[in-house]
Structure 1
Amino acid sequence: MKELHSDILIIGGGLTGLMTAYALSPLKKNIIIIDKFDFGITKDANADLRTTAIAEGSKIFFEKINIWPQFSKYAEPIKYIKVVDRTENRKINFYNKNTSQYLGFIIKNIDLKNVIVHSLKTKKNIQLINNVNLKSLAHSDDFIHAFCNKLTIKSKLIIAADGKHSTVRHLLKTPIYHKNYNHSALVVNFHHTKNHNATAHELFFNSGPLAILPMKKIRTHLFSSSIIWSHDKSSVSQLKKIKPNLLRSILEEKVCKYTGGIKKIVDVQDFDLSAHINTKFYDKRLIYLADAAHSIHPIAGQGWNLGIRDIQNCLKAIQEGIDLGLDTGDPYVCKNYHDLSFADTYILYQITDKFNSIFLKDSFVLNRLRQLGFRIIENNKKIKNYITNFAMGI
C-alpha cells in the first residue's frame, strides 16, 4: 500500500478542514488533507444552498490571512439584529456602534468552499486527496499513522476536522458530553418582496427560535433570506413533507412582517439538533477542531465562528511550538491548543444550552424575568455593547 509523509495531516475536507489548511499554509509545512468526498470546485449555484454566518471577529482573522477579499464579493452584511420574545413589546435592537464594521456576514457554503479550494490549489505545500476513508490510527515514537482504504499517511500531527460524528474520535474512543434536544431545525431559503435592509431577526416562540438571515440578492426585483426554525421533530418532519404553497403560507404567517410576501421557496432542508463537547480537545500527536471537538445549539449562530477560533488557536499553538524548536505534533503543542480553546468553548456550550431552555419555557416567573431582562438590555448601552461585542467575537 502506498505511504505518504506529511508534517500535518488534516482529516476532513469540509469548510473547517479546508480553512485550517489555508490558515496553516504560511508555516511552510507539508500539509495533506483527506476526505471521503470530492474537493472539486462546482459552478452549480444550487449544489449547496446552505449558508454560514460569519462574525466580525472571524472576518478580522480572514483579513489577517488574506482571504477576506475573495470572500467579500459573496458576503451579505448584517448591519442590525432584532431579537423578539413572543411579542414586539419585548424586543432588543442590536447594532455595531463602530460604523466602519458590521455585526457579521452571511455567505453561501458553496461560495466559501469554492474560494478556499481554488486558493489551496495554488499552494505547493498542500495536497488534497479525495475518496479516502480512514480505517485506523497507530503511533510510533515520533509519528502518527493513518491507515486508509487506499494509502497510509505518516505524519507529525493529525488535525481531526471530520465533523460531529468524527471517525477519529470514534477510533480513539475520546469521551464526550452529549445532549439531544429532541428538536430539529427547518432551513428554508426563499425570495421575498420586502427589502431586508441587511437586518437579521431572531424570533423566540414557545415552540423554539426562528431566525431570519439576510442573503445576497440574486434576482433584481426580489430579495433573498434564509429561515432557520427550531421546532419539535414531528412538526419539522411534517413541514418538510407538505406542499410548497402550504409551507409558504405557514412561513408567511410567521415572517411576513419582516420579509413581505414569499415569492419562491428555493430550498428546504432539516437537521436534528444536538450538542456535544469532547472531554479533551487533544490526544497524542492529534488535536480536534470545530465539530469534531464540539457542537452547540444554533440559538446564537456561533457554530462556525467557534470553529474559526479553534483554527486561530491551532495556528498560535503550532507557531509557538516552532519558535521553541518543537515539531508540529509535540505534546506541548497539542496541550497548549487544548488550553487555549477548551474553557471558552465549554462556557459557550453551557450558555447556548441554558438560553435555549429559558426561551422554550412559558411559566409566569420566566416570562416576567425575560420581560425584565429585555427591558434592561434594550435600555442599557453598556450591557448591549458587551453582548454585541461577544456575538461579534471581538
Structure 2
Amino acid sequence: MTPSRDPLPETVEVVVIGGGLAGLTQAIALARHGISVAVIDREDPARALGAGFDGRVSAIALASQRMLDAIGLWPHVAEAQPMWDIRVSDGDSLLFVHYDHRDIGDAPFGYLVENRVLRQAQQAAIAGLPNLHLAAPMAAARIDFGPAGSGRPAAVELADGRVIRARLVIGADGRQSAVRSGAGIRTTGWDYDQAGIVCTVAHELPHEGVAQERFLPAGPFAILPMTDDADGRHRSSLVWVEPTATAAAIMALPDAAFDAEMRRRFGDGYGDAHVTGPRWSYPLSFSHAERYAGHRMVLVGDAAHGIHPIAGQGLNLGLRDVAALTEVLVEAQRLGLDIGREDVLDRYVRWRRVDTLVVSAIMDGLTRLFSTTAAPVRIARDLGLGLVDRIRPLKKVFMRHAMGDLGSLPRLLRGERV
C-alpha cells in the first residue's frame, strides 16, 4: 500500500472508514448537508475505477435513485438502464410472476448501473465538496472511541501516523469490518457454499428493459438488462449462482466451453448470445451484526448486514442505511446535540433494524426455498408464484417493495433534502 499524503484536517465531525459504494455515498450525503467528513479507504481509487476491478451491476431501486439525485450524485451517473419489467420464474415451470411497471405508474422499478460507473460518479461528486476529504489508499491503524458517555471525540490513527479526531466514526468497511470488531460487536452468519459468477453477455435481440430472475436447481440465474455498448450491441449482466466447487470448475473452463455452459442456461429468447469481457466469481454468505451502533461509532452497509444477492437487495439495504443515518445526524446537529452519543444513534438503530431483519430473513428464506429440489416443495412454490401473479393487491405490494417505496421512508428516499 502506497501511503496517501493528501491534506487532511486534524479534526472533522465524522470519519467514514471504507470508501465503497455505501461508504462514499454516506460521506457525500453528509457533506452535502454541511457536515465535515474524512473518508479512509484501503483501496486505490485509480484501481477501483479500472474495468477489471469489479464486473458487477447494481440494481438501484427507484427510491435509492431519488436519494442519489437529492445528494447530487445521480447527475454524474454516465449511463443507467431503466428496469421496466421484472420476471421471476422457477426453472422450466409454466408458472411465473411478471411485474409490469405500468400497473403502478409511469416510473421504472429502478435502474441497472455498472458498479464502475457508480464509482466514477462518486469521484465526480466529491470533487465539488470541499468539506469531504478522501485518504486513499490508506488504512486506519487504530481507533480510540474514548470512554463511554464521555464528551471526548474519537481518535483515528492512520497507517502513516496521522491522527484525525471526530465526533463519530462510521464503519462502512464491509463484511470483515475492522470498525465492528474493534468495537467488540459480534456477528451471526453462515456460508451458503455457493459462489456467484458475474459476466457481461452480448446478445442479438433487445432485452426491452426486462430483468429476469430464474431459479434453477443449483441457484438463481439473473439476467439484468444493461445499456447498449459503444458499438450498439445489446448487453445484459449475468449473475449465475452455483455450488462453490461447481462454480470454480466453470470459472476454470476455456472461453468456448464457458460460453456453451452459459448458453445452456441463458436460453434462446435473446437470440445469439456470447460472453464479452472478463468474468468474476464471488463467495456468497450471510452476516448480521448484533448491534449497529455504540459510543462514537455506527455501522452501515455490509459492515452491519450482508445478504445473498438474490433479488439484488444488498446495496439498496445499505443505501437505506445511508438515508436514515444522514437524517438522524443532520437533525441532531441542527439541535446542537453531540452526534456521537448513543442516545442520538439509537434512533438510527430503531429505524433500520426491523427493515433489515425482515429483508434479510426473506432473502435467506427465498435462497433456501428455491435451493430445494423436492417435488412437493417445488410444486408449492410454483403455485405460490402463480397466485402472486394473479392476486393484484398482493402483487402491487411486492412491486412497491422492489421500488423501495414501502415503510417509513427517510426524506432522502423520497427525493427530498433533509
Cα distance between partner residues in 1 of 2:121 and 2:360: 30
8 Å CA contact 2:61–2:110 kept in 1: the answer is: yes
Aligned residue number for residue 28 of structure 2 = 22
Matches within 5 A, 1:210-289: 210-289=221-300
Whole-angstrom distance in 1 between the partners of 2:15 and 2:252: 41
User: Among residues 301, 307, 324, which one is paired with 2:318 in the alignment?
Assistant: 307
Distance 1:137 1:41, change over 3 A: closer
Q: Which residue of 1 aligns with 2:84?
A: 79
Q: Which residue of 2 aligns with 1:90?
A: 95
Match of 2:192 in 1: 181
Gaps in structure 2 of 5+ consecutive residues: 1-7, 406-418
Partner residue, 2:410: none
1:102 aligns with 2:108: yes
Alpha-carbon separation, structure 1, partners of 2:49 and 2:312: 27
Supply the distance in 2 between the matched residues of 1:49 and 1:182 (Cα, whole angstroms): 21
Aligned residues between the structures? 393
Query: Is residue 184–residue 273 contact of structure 1 (8 Å, CA) maintained in 2?
Result: yes
Asked if 1:124 is matched to 2:130, the reply is: yes
Aligned to 2:159: 149
Flag the 1:212–1:378 CA change in 2: closer, same or farther, 3 A.
same
- 1:337 deviates by 1.2
Which position in structure 1 is the counterpart of 2:411? Answer: none
Which residue identity is paired with 2:100? Y
TM-score for the superposition, normalised by structure 2: 0.90
CA deviations over 1:125-181 (Å, ceiling 9, x no partner): 111111221222213332111122111111110111111111112222211110210
Once structures 1 and 2 are overlaid, which stretch shifts more, 230-239 or 164-173? 164-173
- Matched with 1:8 is 14
* Cα RMSD (Å): 1.9
Post-superposition CA distance 1:54-109 (Å, at most 9, x none): 011111222322332322x4101111111111224021111222442001111111
- 8 Å contact 1:248–1:265 — kept in the other structure? no
CA contact (8 A) 2:187 2:288 kept: yes
Q: Does 1:39 align with 2:45?
A: yes
The whole-number CA distance in structure 1 between the counterparts of 2:246 and 2:326 is: 42
Distance in 2, Cα, partners of 1:385 & 1:297: 24
Structure 1 range deviating more: 92-101 or 18-27: 92-101
1:165-199 Cα deviation digits (max 9, x unpaired): 11112222211110210111111112111211111
Higher mean C-alpha displacement, 16-25 vs 26-35: 26-35
Deviations 1:10-69 (A, max 9, x none): 111111111111111133222111111223498755554321110111112223223323
* Distance in 2 of aligned mates of 1:208 and 1:42: 29
The answer for the alignment partner of 1:190 in structure 2 is 201
Provide the C-alpha distance between the structure 1 equivalents of 2:178 and 2:270, rounded to a whole number of angstroms: 41
Which moves more between the two structures, 285-294 or 255-264? 255-264
CA 1:88 to 1:362, structure 2 compared with 1: closer, same or farther past 3 Å?
closer
- Over 3 Å counting, the alpha-carbon distance change for 1:242 and 1:177 in structure 2 is same
Question: How far apart, CA to CA, are the structure 1 residues paired with 2:346 and 2:242?
Answer: 38
Specify the SS of the correspondent of 2:167.
Answer: strand
Segment of structure 1 superposing worse, 213-222 or 153-162: 213-222
Q: Distance in 2 between matches of 1:300 and 1:317?
A: 28
AA partner of residue 364 (structure 2): D
Between 1:28-37 and 1:230-239, the stretch displaced more is: 28-37
Matched, 1:70 2:81: no
Moved more, 48-57 or 59-68: 59-68
SS at the partner of 2:43? Answer: coil
Change (3 A) 1:101 1:176: same
Q: In the alignment, which residue of structure 1 is the partner of 2:408? A: none
Q: Secondary structure at the match of 1:54?
A: strand
Residues 308-334 of structure 1, C-alpha deviation per residue, up to 9 Å, x if partnerless? Answer: 000011011112312332022122222
State percent identity of aligned pairs: 26
1:343 aligns with 2:354: yes
SS of the aligned residue for 2:268 comes to helix
Residues 212, 225 of structure 1: 8 Å contact kept: yes
What secondary structure sits across from 2:188 in the alignment? strand
Q: Distance in 2 between matches of 1:190 and 1:106?
A: 15
Structure 1 stretches lacking a partner, 5+ long:
none
TM-score (normalizing by structure 1): 0.95
- Counterpart of 2:341 in structure 1 is 330
Deviations 1:280-304 (A, max 9, x none): 1001111000011101111121010
